Structure 1
Amino acid sequence: MQKFHLAQVNISKLLEPIDSPLLADFVAQLGEINALAEQSKGFVWRLKGENESATALRVFDDEMIIINMSVWESIEDLKEFAFKTAHASVMRGRNKWFAKPTEAMLALWWIPENYTPTPQDAKERLESINKNGATPFSFTFKDVFLPNV
């Protein structure tokens, strides 16, 4: 029987460039939060660019959009990290750094255990949620679908 992992992407539109004073507090916390993710139960992989972060990667046409992608063994493991660790307290400050979303900023989807998702996969999943809402192809924490086994 094939085993699946949970891939996730979240994007944010910066209010100012990543090296601006406004973003300094956010940037200062990235290393700690990324390390916390990597040490968390169920963590498998995360997208990295320069400085072990994905903030320098430009996947979208808008240069102000940053991307975060990771893979987890289960949705429960991701929820634990996202909502019950220091990550949650950092994200409570997101309105200081990021524009209010006008489209989906999070997508979750199941991948085969040994697959590494690409930024193109992430773009397709976000586009799917924006066009179709939550489906087995791409969903959110609010509307979870189980993997097709």
Structure 2
Amino acid sequence: MPHLVLYTFGVLKAPLADPAPLTREFHDGAYAIYQKISQHHGYLAHAQAAEGDQGSHFDLDWGTWGEFAVPTWYGKGRTAETTALAATLSLWTGLRPAFDAIYTGLHREALNRRYDWFERTGHPPYAFWWVSDGVIPTWQDGVSRLEHLDEHGSAPRAFAFQHPFAPDGTPMRIKDVAPRSDRVH
């Protein structure tokens, strides 16, 4: 059974190490959001650094998720003091569970405040694609798919909620994924 991969990437207005209240608020809220999402129906796994690893995203051991990578448009720091990004890489059973996890609860509340924390880059903040059961995507896969979505728009190789594709590559309709009141525009 195929699994859905979700890669997210955002450029923060300030480095994660910044002690400002707004940065701390984002950083501290992320843990609760990850906890809630990891309990969501349809969630399978997400990239996590090896236990006890400390440093910037770029220095951590991500195991089978591969070496940490970022899109070409990321031009901020790469050290623990200067890194200004938020990125996730996760596996799901399908689009519906991913949609429900992203657009409800704590994560929905955070999305409503995204422009408090993130720069408006003009690039897509996430990309989806399907993998065969047992495949663990890498950070480089995520970057490649996000850049493809940015350059070519939604396609079976990389897509957004607005124009989703089924595992066999056929287009889906957003109404098959999202309830009417929560449709992405």
1:68 corresponds to 2:88: yes
- Alpha-carbon contact 1:9-1:68 (below 8 Å) kept: yes
Shift of 1:38: 0.9
TM-score (norm 2): 0.73
Identity %: 21
What are structure 1's unaligned runs of at least 5 residues? Answer: none
Shift of 1:114: 1.1
- Name the structure 2 match of 1:49: 49
- Name the structure 2 match of 1:13: 11
Shift of 1:148: 1.6
1:109 corresponds to 2:107: no
Whole-angstrom distance in 1 between the partners of 2:125 and 2:31: 22
Runs of at least 4 residues off by over 4 Å: none
- Larger CA Rg, structure 1 vs 2: 2
Shift of 1:30: 1.2
Whole-angstrom distance in 2 between the partners of 1:91 and 1:130: 20
Whole-angstrom distance in 2 between the partners of 1:96 and 1:141: 23
Q: Number of paired residues? A: 145
TM-score (norm 1): 0.89
- Name the structure 1 match of 2:37: 37
What are structure 2's unaligned runs of at least 5 residues? Answer: 59-68, 78-83, 170-185
Whole-angstrom distance in 2 between the partners of 1:71 and 1:56: 23
Whole-angstrom distance in 2 between the partners of 1:80 and 1:70: 14
What is the letter of the counterpart of residue 146 of structure 2?
Answer: L
